[in-house]
C-alpha cells in the first residue's frame, strides 16, 4: 500500500493519562526507529520524552532505537513507571495479611 517505492507507512504513538497522540507517517524503509521518532515531531510536542530514558516498542514488544520497522508498524514510546510493581504487590500482600489476622482475632 506504499505510494512510493521503498516507502512504508508507520505510526508513532505516545500516551499520557489524559491524551493519546498518534502520528501517521510515510517513511523510507531503511530508517531506524530513532530517525522515525525524530521525523514525527513528537519530541517537539512532548519535550519530556528522553529517548535515552524512555523505552520504545512495536506492538508492545520492546525494541532498540537502531531497529528498522515494517510497513504498518506502530512505534510506541513508553513513559517510565512511577512505582515499582514488585513493591506495590508486596505492600498489597502485607495489607491482606493484616486484614486476615484482624478478622481472625474478632
In a domain, 105, yes or no: no
In a domain, 86, yes or no: no
In a domain, 102, yes or no: no
User: Given this model, what pLDDT does residue 68 score?
Assistant: 94
Cα separation of 47 and 18, whole Å? 17
In a domain, 67, yes or no: yes
In a domain, 97, yes or no: no
Cα end-to-end distance, the chain, whole Å: 68
In a domain, 66, yes or no: yes
User: Given this model, what pLDDT does residue 21 score?
Assistant: 96
Which whole number is the average pLDDT over 64-79?
Answer: 96
Sole residue written with cell 532498540: 64
Domain hosting residue 64, numbered range = 7-81
The band of 78, judged by pLDDT with boundaries at 50, 70 and 90, is very high
- Give the chain's domain count: 1
In a domain, 93, yes or no: no
The CATH code of the domain that includes 43 is: 3.10.20.30
Contacts of 69 (CB under 8 A, 6+ apart): 8, 10, 31, 33, 36, 58, 75
Number of other CB atoms surrounding residue 68 within 10 Å = 15
In a domain, 92, yes or no: no
The per-residue pLDDT of the chain, averaged, comes to 90
Task: For the chain, give the percent of residues with pLDDT over 90.
Answer: 67
Which whole number is the average pLDDT over 66-73?
Answer: 96
Amino acid at each position: 500500500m506504499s505510494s512510493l517505492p521503498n516507502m512504508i507507512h508507520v505510526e508513532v504513538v505516545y500516551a499520557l493519562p489524559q491524551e493519546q497522540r498518534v502520528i501517521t507517517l510515510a517513511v523510507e524503509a531503511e530508517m531506524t526507529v530513532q530517525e522515525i521518532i525524530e521525523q514525527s515531531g513528537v519530541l517537539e510536542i512532548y519535550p519530556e520524552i528522553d529517548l535515552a530514558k524512555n523505552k520504545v516498542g512495536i506492538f508492545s514488544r520492546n525494541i532498540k532505537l537502531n531497529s528498522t520497522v515494517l510497513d504498518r508498524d506502530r512505534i510506541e514510546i513508553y513513559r517510565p513507571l512511577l512505582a515499582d510493581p514488585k513493591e506495590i504487590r508486596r505492600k498489597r500482600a502485607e495489607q491482606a495479611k493484616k486484614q486476615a489476622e484482624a478478622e481472625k482475632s474478632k
